[in-house]
Amino acid sequence: MIRDVLAYVHNRWINPSDRVFIRHPDYPQGHYHDADCRMLYILFQMLVDFVEIECGSVCGPYRFETPGQKTYRVISDLPLLNWLLPPGRNARRGLHHLRWAMTLKDIPSQAQHAKDVFMLYRFWKHERPERKDPFEDTECFSGGHKLGEPLTARYKAFLDRAGKLEDKYDREDEEMLHLLITIRQGLWT
């Protein structure tokens, strides 16, 4: 009974496991975000937390720890402190765990889930941030376009190109979200 109360207090107020805290440079805190944007960032933050916290905390090689992570792990292993501190993050250990899971020949579904999680994580953390902003074209904006003036052919072509690239990015995001929803039952350690 006491353990249930302590677990409730811990999960409710000390380390809320029912909340998602978005940690992404493209999602500034304190600003309004539409529901489609919130959904994208929340679901991928849950994936990042899964890889960096859950997969990263699976017992494994400590060689993937920085000195700060090692210190945090040692401190958080102390009685009572482990209860008060938030879980540590270790992306390298999480990715190492996924690479190991990808090699499981006797459980092909788990290996496929690990491949999908690995691919989605790399997409969100590495590939997506490298995208070129579709509306960033210093050459097109150097002359400037004033509101109320008719659009030039060059400016219309720029807007068409930018719109097509933005649509391509949206389709790619949608495909990745669909895959994430499809593999959600495989997100366990």
Helix axes 108-122, 35-49, angle to 10 degrees: 120
Residues 62 and 78: their CA atoms lie apart, in Å, by 18
2 by Cβ neighbours in 10 Å (0-12 / 13-18 / 19+) ranks as exposed
- Taking the whole predicted model, whether its pTM rises above 0.85 is answered as no
Please give the chain's pLDDT, 189 residues, in tens. Answer: 777 888 888 788 888 877 898 989 889 989 999 999 999 999 999 999 999 999 988 766 566 778 888 888 788 777 777 777 888 888 999 999 999 999 999 999 999 999 999 999 999 999 999 999 988 865 555 555 666 778 788 888 888 999 999 999 999 999 999 999 999 999 987
Q: Is the dihedral of CA 60, 65, 67, 71 positive or negative?
A: negative
Q: What is the pLDDT of residue 139?
A: 59
